[in-house]
Amino acid sequence: MAHSLWRCGRHRTGAVFELFFRDNPFGGGFTIFAGLQNCLSFIHSFSLSSTAYVNASPSLSLSLQVALMEVSGPLAVVQLLETPLLNLVNYASLVATNAARFRLLVGPRIKLFELGLRRAQGPDGGLSGSKYSYIGGFDYTSNLLAGKLYGIPVRGSMAHSYITSFTSISELTFQTLKPVGDGAAVDFVGLSERWLGRVCRLLEESEEFPDAGERAAFISFALCYPSNFVALVDTYSVRRSGLPNFCAVALTLDELGYRAIGVRLDSGDLRQQSLHCRSVFRACSQTFEVPWFANLSIMASNNISEENLKELQCQEHEIDYIGVGTNLVTCPLQPSLGCVYKLTEVNGKARIKLSEDQSKTTLPGRKNSYRLYSPDGHPLLDLLTLHSEEAPRAGEEVQCCALGRKMERLQVTAANVEPLLSVYFERGQVRASSAKLGAGVRGWGAGGK
Amino acid sequence: MAHSLWRCGRHRTGAVFELFFRDNPFGGGFTIFAGLQNCLSFIHSFSLSSTAYVNASPSLSLSLQVALMEVSGPLAVVQLLETPLLNLVNYASLVATNAARFRLLVGPRIKLFELGLRRAQGPDGGLSGSKYSYIGGFDYTSNLLAGKLYGIPVRGSMAHSYITSFTSISELTFQTLKPVGDGAAVDFVGLSERWLGRVCRLLEESEEFPDAGERAAFISFALCYPSNFVALVDTYSVRRSGLPNFCAVALTLDELGYRAIGVRLDSGDLRQQSLHCRSVFRACSQTFEVPWFANLSIMASNNISEENLKELQCQEHEIDYIGVGTNLVTCPLQPSLGCVYKLTEVNGKARIKLSEDQSKTTLPGRKNSYRLYSPDGHPLLDLLTLHSEEAPRAGEEVQCCALGRKMERLQVTAANVEPLLSVYFERGQVRASSAKLGAGVRGWGAGGK
């Protein structure tokens, strides 16, 4: 296609493309625009494009058919950018928006961690999932490489197989730990067996039931990471094995001056189990006079989706950390964002694509876009104008019409006008305004002006 | 976790993991196992694993909880492989299975091309989508890099923006073409204008309506690729513009000894339009005495899914090529395959993971698996045995029970017994049997023994 443009001498003709989407994903009211940094890197390394020019909009997009990016330059060059730019924006924006929806659902208190690597589209898909979930409002990733490459805080716990790989306490080669500060190493195993007895008496559970292999796994982990002890407690039975074993090991750590972090639940009724865990932590805290024990973290994972999170949030629970994998990175409610990249102008002339589907007809002409705000700082609407029109001004009435409803005229007077497009790439170079990118990350919650 | 295994001296303990899934995706009856080659490359480059050992099953998996892979070696090493192997198998197998379902739906005659790059999880996700769609039974990809890297045949057509970038015939710098064989260049534009008149008279359409810019784009493309002319015909109107313009250009090519390939439809009622296109091609073929014109290819794309393909296949249509993007690579019916990687044996002892969810409990112990066939070559069942049990033999009765229904005993006598696991990696090296991989590609339709 580009070859044929070159053959007919049209490859250098000036052209303008817009990258936009037609519907917000997940039936929602907003989209986080993400992936711009990768687009700019790609355009920069795509050396032909020394004259390409990129305008891009801010990270939160509320309105449809307002360009996320406007790309102008020689026709052949900007046309070749179609597929790479769509690839780099579509999934990034989709997963960032999905992550933001999870964040809005749980509120600011609960910590969210991303666990999607195993279900992503290959290793790179996994990295994108981690990066854009973080941009959308997640706190942690379990993907170590994403942590290393993007500086995202990393969190994880042990695997079930780590626990089932142990069968008895005798498999522990090392059984001692030095207390915090000075002092000789103490028989950790012996101490924890005594704590297990006390915990089981408190909980009125049999001391026989807690699995010795599971306890060996917990002890092995605690000896290695005494200040970072998190235990996966559902391998055999949360109530009868995992939780008593965890409490025994965590109380042993406390005796030596260390504080455990908490437990992870990965199956069953997460809400009920969180309530039970909290009540056990409180009982231990009170009985054994260990105040911090009441506030141990409870982490939950296991096929968490928007739907079951909504249910969870309607009821009492004690979960502090929520891990989301599949339903975050694969976005099952809508696994693709339909961004398109359409020609709006060639050689200064507006271009349109009609279509057999009305909804696929494009808005012709190069455009500017503005967000109009009310006096109290709320966005009123996003205004599209032709590039040749004058910009709307604060305090002056603007006549406009709703997209797709030409007959409905609106008069709006904005207290504040924000131009939505800024220059990010010009004359072969990424422009200074891209420094906003860093600030834009996690900026979704900042809102308005 | 691995560090803690090393600290307690258990990192070298022999362990066996199984990688398997619990349910076939999309509510279907089979899964294509894909991604093994990437797994083997990963294990090979993961240099610690000089003693890891991989058994893997053939590419078509019909039964649940039969391991796709069995990985054995030092505990710390094989445990670290969990996430990478799951990442490499899950999406690969999901998309190969999805592709196979499209292939089964359309039958062997229709050509399928993959168009998913713009909606994939980044550039690598796009490559995986192309590769495993091809393995699952697609014929072409529009991803040039996938074509280059994996040797997949590449097909595509022009973009709408290529067409809308032209406004008039005068924009064509070159307007002539040499006929096939010898001879001087001919005025292609003049010829095609005359053909347009004839076509419009035949179709009883106004000669004014076909868009001149669209025709200029078609001519530009045809001059560049006279033997590879495919036109996207829905930019303005298939019936009144795209199709007459295509016929005019294709008949001009014919006059110079070239054969066009066909048209692509990308919006509207694809079935109805295909019938209309075919009737126009037949009419032109007969009226202008160009026999091959009746058999021009008709390609269709535009949000093709299993569902609308089922509808299409129930009715008469004339589509020869179908392009699938979003619904192929993002697998919206089920965007993830739930493969898991579970410990079955440590130090020769069987290991189990119970769970708060019954369905997540694992089958303990290292196992063999066999596919039993009837005398006419149909698979009867897949048999799991403990590794220590004797293999079933052809012609001898086997007692077994259905998974999860211990009380239901079955007696089966197989005419043929196929062991499902083969060695693919041993003592740090990929084994010769991995040469089967090449043969396995596209082998999904071969069936049985």
Question: Do A318 and A245 reside in the same domain of the chain?
Answer: yes
* pLDDT of B143 over the 90 cut: yes
Residues in A 61-100 with any Cβ partner in B closer than 8 A: 75, 79, 82-84, 86-88, 90-92
Question: Do A55 and A199 reside in the same domain of the chain?
Answer: no
Instruction: Please say which residue of A308, A330, A352 terminates a domain.
Output: A330
Q: Determine, for residues B87 and A120 on separate chains, whether the beta-carbon distance falls below 8 Å.
A: yes
* pLDDT of B315 over the 80 cut: yes
B433 min Cα distance to partner chain A (Å): 25
Question: Do B285 and B183 reside in the same domain of the chain?
Answer: yes
Residues in B 209-268 with any Cβ partner in A closer than 8 A: 220-221, 223-225, 234-238, 267-268
Per-residue pLDDT band for B433 (boundaries 50, 70, 90) equals: low
Interface residue A394 vs chain B (CB under 8 A): no
- The verdict on residue B92 lying in a domain is yes
Task: Check the CA dihedral B69-B70-B75-B77 and report its sign.
Answer: negative
Per-residue pLDDT band for B353 (boundaries 50, 70, 90) equals: confident
Mean pLDDT taken over chain A: 89
Residue among A13, A42, A121, A165 with most chain B CBs within 10 A, to mutate: A121
Q: Which long-range contacts (CB under 8 A, 24 or more apart) does A141-144 make?
A: A141/A113, A141/A114, A141/A115, A142/A113, A142/A114, A142/A115, A142/A117, A142/A323, A143/A114, A143/A117
Contacting residues for B240 by C-beta, under 8 A, at least 6 apart: B205, B206, B209, B210
**Which of A361-370, B74-83, B219-228, B357-366 has the lowest average pLDDT?**
B357-366
β-pairing verdict for A262-265 and A297-300 = parallel
Tell me how far CA of residue B152 lies from CA of A89, A125, B137, B149, B442, in angstroms.
26, 21, 11, 8, 12
**Among B172, B331, B346, whose Cβ lies nearest the Cβ of A165?**
B346
Residues in B 160-189 with any Cβ partner in A closer than 8 A: 160-167, 171-174
Q: Determine, for residues A351 and B165 on separate chains, whether the beta-carbon distance falls below 8 Å.
A: yes
Identify all chain A residues contacting B91, using CB atoms and an 8 Å cutoff: 119-122, 125
A153 min Cα distance to partner chain B (Å): 18
Q: Determine, for residues B119 and A17 on separate chains, whether the beta-carbon distance falls below 8 Å.
A: no
What pLDDT, on the 0 to 100 scale, is given for residue B17?
Answer: 93
The structure's pTM equals: 0.91
**Among A17, A86, A267, whose Cβ lies nearest the Cβ of B355?**
A267
- The verdict on residue B235 lying in a domain is yes
* pLDDT of B73 over the 80 cut: yes
CATH number at residue A4: 3.20.140.10
Interface residue B316 vs chain A (CB under 8 A): no
What pLDDT, on the 0 to 100 scale, is given for residue B446?
Answer: 33
Question: Do B8 and B91 reside in the same domain of the chain?
Answer: yes
Contacting residues for B206 by C-beta, under 8 A, at least 6 apart: B200, B240
Express each pLDDT in A330-344 by its tens digit: 999 999 998 999 999
- The verdict on residue A233 lying in a domain is yes
**Among A158, A165, A269, whose Cβ lies nearest the Cβ of B75?**
A165
- Integer Cα distance of B382 and B421 in angstroms: 12
Per-residue pLDDT band for B5 (boundaries 50, 70, 90) equals: confident
Residue among A4, A6, A80, A118 with most chain B CBs within 10 A, to mutate: A118
Q: Determine, for residues A121 and B121 on separate chains, whether the beta-carbon distance falls below 8 Å.
A: yes
Count of H-run helices and E-run strands, chain A: 14, 22
Interface residue A405 vs chain B (CB under 8 A): no
What pLDDT, on the 0 to 100 scale, is given for residue A426?
Answer: 84
Query: What residue in A sits closest to B331 (Cα-Cα)?
Result: A335
CB B258 within 8 A of CB B291: no
- The verdict on residue A378 lying in a domain is no
What pLDDT, on the 0 to 100 scale, is given for residue B185?
Answer: 95
Express each pLDDT in A52-64 by its tens digit: 667 777 666 666 6
Interface residue A343 vs chain B (CB under 8 A): yes
- The token duo for A324 is 């989301």
Mean pLDDT taken over chain B: 89
B387 min Cα distance to partner chain A (Å): 19
CB A288 within 8 A of CB A198: yes
Query: Could you give the ipTM of this predicted complex?
Result: 0.89
- The verdict on residue A400 lying in a domain is no
Question: Do B213 and B286 reside in the same domain of the chain?
Answer: yes
What pLDDT, on the 0 to 100 scale, is given for residue B275?
Answer: 98
- Integer Cα distance of B97 and A125 in angstroms: 19
Question: Do A176 and A301 reside in the same domain of the chain?
Answer: yes
- Integer Cα distance of A120 and A136 in angstroms: 17
Express each pLDDT in B370-381 by its tens digit: 999 999 999 898
Question: Do B47 and B176 reside in the same domain of the chain?
Answer: no
Q: How many domains does chain A have?
A: 2
Percent with pLDDT over 90 in chain B: 69
Query: What residue in A sits closest to B270 (Cα-Cα)?
Result: A356
Residues in B 131-160 with any Cβ partner in A closer than 8 A: 158-160
- Integer Cα distance of B344 and A209 in angstroms: 22
Interface residue B45 vs chain A (CB under 8 A): no
What pLDDT, on the 0 to 100 scale, is given for residue A434?
Answer: 47
**Among B10, B221, B235, whose Cβ lies nearest the Cβ of A4?**
B221
- Integer Cα distance of B179 and B230 in angstroms: 19
Query: What residue in A sits closest to B75 (Cα-Cα)?
Result: A165
Would you give the DSSP letter of residue A154? B
Could you tell me which of A159, A102, A106, A96 has the C-alpha nearest to residue A320?
Answer: A106
Q: Determine, for residues B1 and A162 on separate chains, whether the beta-carbon distance falls below 8 Å.
A: yes
Tell me how far CA of residue B313 lies from CA of B229, B303, B308, in angstroms.
27, 16, 9
Residues in A 407-436 with any Cβ partner in B closer than 8 A: none
H/E stretch holding A103 reads: helix A82-106
Question: Do B24 and B88 reside in the same domain of the chain?
Answer: yes
**Which of A44-53, A298-307, B112-121, B387-396 has the lowest average pLDDT?**
A44-53
Instruction: Please say which residue of B285, B309, B330 terminates a domain.
Output: B330
Q: Determine, for residues B91 and A1 on separate chains, whether the beta-carbon distance falls below 8 Å.
A: no
Query: B355 lies in which domain range?
Result: 1-103+336-366+420-436
Express each pLDDT in B237-275 by its tens digit: 999 999 999 999 999 999 999 999 999 999 999 999 999
**Among B159, B335, B357, whose Cβ lies nearest the Cβ of A79?**
B159
Tell me if residue B98 falls in helix, strand or coil: helix
Q: What is the mean pLDDT of residues A308-313?
A: 93
Interface residue B7 vs chain A (CB under 8 A): yes
Q: Determine, for residues A118 and B10 on separate chains, whether the beta-carbon distance falls below 8 Å.
A: no
Q: What is the mean pLDDT of residues B302-319?
A: 94
Instruction: Please say which residue of A275, A310, A330 terminates a domain.
Output: A330
**Which of A367-376, B359-368, B391-400 has the lowest average pLDDT?**
B359-368
Express each pLDDT in A129-176 by its tens digit: 999 999 999 999 999 999 999 999 998 889 999 999 999 999 898 899
- The verdict on residue B388 lying in a domain is no
A13 min Cα distance to partner chain B (Å): 9
CATH number at residue B159: 3.20.20.70
Tell me how far CA of residue A448 lies from CA of B80, B166, B410, in angstroms.
45, 41, 68
Identify all chain B residues contacting A237, using CB atoms and an 8 Å cutoff: 354, 356
Question: Do B88 and B123 reside in the same domain of the chain?
Answer: no
Per-residue pLDDT band for B435 (boundaries 50, 70, 90) equals: very low
- The verdict on residue B444 lying in a domain is no
Residue in the block written with tokens 């710390």? B76
Question: Do A93 and A121 reside in the same domain of the chain?
Answer: no
Express each pLDDT in A38-51 by its tens digit: 998 888 887 554 45
Where helices occur in A256-387 by DSSP H, the ranges are: 270-287, 306-314, 326-329
Question: Do A172 and A302 reside in the same domain of the chain?
Answer: yes
Q: What is the mean pLDDT of residues A96-101?
A: 97
The count of CB pairs under 8 A between chains A and B is 263
Question: Do A252 and A301 reside in the same domain of the chain?
Answer: yes
In chain B, the N- to C-terminal Cα span, in Å, equals: 43
> Three-class SS string for A212-224?
HHHHHHHHHHHHH
- The token duo for B446 is 């071969």
Compare B363 and A63 and report the one with higher pLDDT. B363
- The verdict on residue B445 lying in a domain is no
